Amino acid sequence: MSGLLAQPYYRRGRRIEIMHTYNPTSDPGEASRGHEDKLQINGNSDCRSSERSPDTSGISFFGLTLHPKSMNELNDLTERAITEQRKWIITNHNLHSVYLFLRSPKLRDFYAGAHWTFIDGMPLVVLGRLYGYPLKRNHRVTLADWTHPLMELAASKGWRVFYLGSPKGVAEKGAAVLRGQYPTLQIEVSDGYFDARQGSLENESLLQRINAYKPDILMVGMSMPRQEYWTHDNFARIEAHVILSSSGAAMDYVAGAVKTPPRWMGRVGLEWASRLVNEPRRLFGRYLVEPWYILALLIMDYLRGGGKLKVTTQREG
């Protein structure tokens, strides 16, 4: 019999309860990827239509399901999706996305439909450790680190890449930089400033362009949660094997439009400080306000657990 991981939270007096299954043959805290067909996904597109493969590497806390992967493992996962002709959403979570996830039903629908969710942020590695998961530093992967190795792999394998996002001119500059570094790379881009409403002329034209190109990898970098909402709304019509739906400012870093934080700061969990210094007005709330909300939830879990942080389980039937 399958089980459910229940994570209740409260917002403005309203109870939010997110359920995930776990594998009863393993540790109760180990989430299973064999549950996707049971997830209720609302909205105009249904990510369940894509093929899925069981996986027992998932972990769960705060109602999240995460799949800790190293950069090499993400490269392998991408290659598998393309080789096996899959259609997978590979996304990520960081503290900002967790904050939005807990406050947005549509974003929860998106993550319920995503096939793989890796960790983008040392705070989530630390949180996972507090809940008893043996997470390592290399389980934290950001697009600032992964973009170049992924593009190098794409060039060597002959994969086609389409990048959607960034201001006009920035994506083109980033693509030119990548083509210069990896001459055999096949990449096309489109900026993220368009009418993203379903049925709009600009959105229809964009989908036609993407599908005509038939990318192996579609990177969507339009800031959160717009990039996830667009992926969720248009998933059924996108023709790509891998959709990296939470690419954020990946191309902005490549193009030099946004200063890349020193990589050592990312490894020790201080990348946020560098980004805050460079973009204080935009990132003040994200880094100095939102974490207090997450801390409040952590304290609630601690108190509910009788002085311990643990994943609670609830049996069906």
Supply angle C-alpha 116, 119, 120, rounded to 5: 125
pLDDT < 50 positions in the chain:
1-45, 48-49, 53-54, 312-317
Structural domains of the chain, count: 1
Can you give the pLDDT at residue 30? 37
- 230 domain residue, yes or no: yes
The pLDDT value recorded for residue 235 is 98
pTM of the entire predicted model: 0.80
Residue 311: what pLDDT? Answer: 64
In a domain, 102, yes or no: yes
The span from the CA of 17 to the CA of 10, in Å, is 9
Rounded-to-5 percentages of helix, strand, coil across the chain: 45, 20, 35
Residue 215's identity, in one-letter code, is: P
The residue segments making up the domain with residue 218 are 3-47+59-315
Distance CA 120, CA 286 (A): 15
72 falls within a domain: yes
pLDDT at 195: 97
Distance, in Å, from the CA atom of 232 to the CA atom of 226, rounded to the nearest integer, reads: 10
Please give the pLDDT value at position 46: 52
Backbone angles phi, psi at 313, to 5 degrees: -125, 150
pLDDT value of position 47? 54
Burial class for 212, CB neighbours closer than 10 Å (0-12, 13-18, 19+): exposed
Separation in Å, CA 275 to CA 82, 91, 167, 268, 298: 33, 21, 18, 14, 25
Residue 54 lies in a domain: no
Question: Taken in order 220, 226, 231, 233, is the CA torsion positive or negative?
Answer: negative
Residue 25 has what pLDDT?
31
Task: State the pLDDT at residue 305.
Answer: 80
Predicted confidence (pLDDT) per residue in 182-241, tens digit: 999 999 999 999 999 999 999 999 999 999 999 999 999 999 999 999 999 999 999 999
- How far apart are alpha carbons 174 and 180 in whole angstroms? 10
- Asked if residues 149 and 71 have their Cβ atoms less than 8 Å apart, the reply is yes
Positive or negative, the Cα torsion across 118, 60, 261, 287? Answer: positive
For residue 123, say if its preceding peptide bond is cis, omega within 30 degrees of 0. no
Radius of gyration of the chain (CA): 19
Through-space distance between the first and last CA atoms of the chain, rounded to whole angstroms = 9
